[in-house]
Amino acid sequence: MLTEIHLEQVQAFCRLGIYENERQRGQAVIVDLKISLDLSDACNGDKMEDSISYVALCHAIQDVAKSKEFNLIEHLCKSIIDKLFADHEKINTVDIKIHKPVINAEGFTGNASVRVKADRP
């Protein structure tokens, strides 16, 4: 039974950007995550060990975000994907979108986001 788990608007602090001042100060990003996996046992048995904890997924996102400096949102996305695949063998597909609400570039208004989808290698 294919199941999707969605996390929306997870806040993570990171040092992200192509400008040195962005990485020095750091900033919050907003992460939307969708994972696809077979959770038949959880659907039929109602046991936590047959599923994946939303809190564990949230912490993985936050841990990767604060683990190092990133120039690009794309690289942060891929780093989170790699962590989720490494930590959770049940995950088949990850679809992640990271919003950068503040862009510290002269003349830029609005925000930016990057979405990356990946199947388990």
Beta strands at 27-38 and 91-100: parallel, antiparallel or unpaired = antiparallel
CA 106 to chain CA mean position, Å: 27
Q: 2-119 in CATH: which number?
A: 3.30.1130.10
Find the radius of gyration of the CA atoms of the chain.
16
Dist CA 76 CA 74 (whole Å): 5
Q: What is the pLDDT of residue 1?
A: 76
Q: What is the pLDDT of residue 47?
A: 86
Return the DSSP state at 51.
S
* Per-residue pLDDT reduced to its tens digit, 62-82: 999 999 999 999 999 999 999
Q: What does pLDDT average to in each consecutive run of 10 residues of the chain (121 residues)?
A: 94 92 89 95 86 95 97 97 96 97 79 95 86
φ, ψ dihedrals at 22, nearest 5°: -65, -45
Dist CA 80 CA 24 (whole Å): 21
Q: What is the pLDDT of residue 62?
A: 98
CB 16 within 8 A of CB 30: no
Q: In the block, which residue shows the tokens 């199947």?
A: 119
